[in-house]
Amino acid sequence: MGMKNIAKFVSLILSTFFIVFMLLSTVRLWGEGQRYFPYDSEYFKAENVRANEELILPWEQSFFLEQDKHIILWIETYIGSEVDAAGKEQPVMLAMPWMDRDKPRKSLEKKSSPTRPLLRQLLAEILEKYPQARFIISCDDNREQVHQYLSTAIEQAHAETHVIIQSKYDTILISLKEQRPTWLFGSTPSDLARVKTMDGMWLLAAAPFKGDVMIVPLKHRGRDSLNHNIVQELKKRFKKIIIGPLNNAEEARAARQLQADGLFYSDPTVILQ
């Protein structure tokens, strides 16, 4: 009796493994059978991109546009408010200098008054100042209606075709993509986690990624963000890859070995190393 129970148990385990194997194989085959097509975007048209890889710098380094008009400017943005003469607050998107990105939100300037204008620049003002430039706009200020304020600032500057929206929050990108499906979007840490998890299960071909550009640091939590399998899969889907911020020449070489389409330098002097 005991041997029969053991045999049934072993048979059940083998059947379960077989079913799981067939399901995973089906998912993988489905993923490998998907066809992808390039998205015709003004942002990445040949006349707008650099000859080699894209070069991304913080927006405070905008004077480099005089030397190379193809440079992409990175803007960190958050919600502030302007107070008009009637004393009514109007929400606006403010640009944050790169050096302030790690400061607590409550310490950042957020409000103006009729007698004290904002010291920080409005996002829309920067976009309007450089109408031919391209931007990556990173917004981690995950508050109510932030996607509305962000889209208003971009549309006010008529910069819809010149921006990629980036965030560490899925909700911001999903909300914006639902309203502005033709805009370009980056990736979140959860996008990277899903792709890496599926790669570890040999299901990379079926990994979901609805963004247009995978924007990641070279390393995430002490481990390489990307490997060559992930890079090849993203290239197959016609997705762009931007890696940064890069802090030295060694990191830049590592990013190039991964065939990154763009390199983000928080410090431009690294380029000269």
pLDDT for the residue 165: 97
Q: Please state, in angstroms and rounded to a whole number, the distance separating the CA atoms of residues 154 and 185.
A: 14
One digit per residue, the tens of pLDDT, for the chain of length 273 reads: 466 777 777 777 877 776 766 666 676 666 667 888 888 899 998 788 887 789 999 999 999 999 999 999 999 999 988 776 677 778 889 998 888 777 776 666 555 554 445 567 889 999 999 999 999 999 999 989 999 999 999 999 999 999 999 999 999 999 999 999 999 999 999 999 999 999 988 889 999 998 999 999 999 888 999 999 999 999 999 999 999 999 999 999 999 999 999 999 988 887 766
Question: How confident is the model at residue 89, as a pLDDT?
Answer: 79
Please tell me whether the overall predicted TM-score, pTM, comes out greater than 0.85 for this model.
yes
Give the pLDDT of residue 268. Answer: 82
Answer whether the bond into residue 91 is a cis peptide, omega within 30°. Answer: no
What letters, b where the CB count within 10 A reaches 16 and e where it falls short, cover 146-159? Answer: bbebbbbbbebbeb
pLDDT of amino acid 27: 60
- The DSSP result for 199-245, as a single string, is HHTT-GGG-----SEEEE-SEETTEES--HHHHHHHHHTT-EEEEEE
Q: What is the pLDDT of residue 115?
A: 47
- Please report where in the chains the tokens 């990629």 appear, as a residue: 164
For the chain, what percentages of helix, strand and coil (3-state, to nearest 5) are there? 45, 20, 35
CA distance to 144, 175, 180, 185, 242, per residue, from 172 (Å): 10, 5, 12, 10, 20
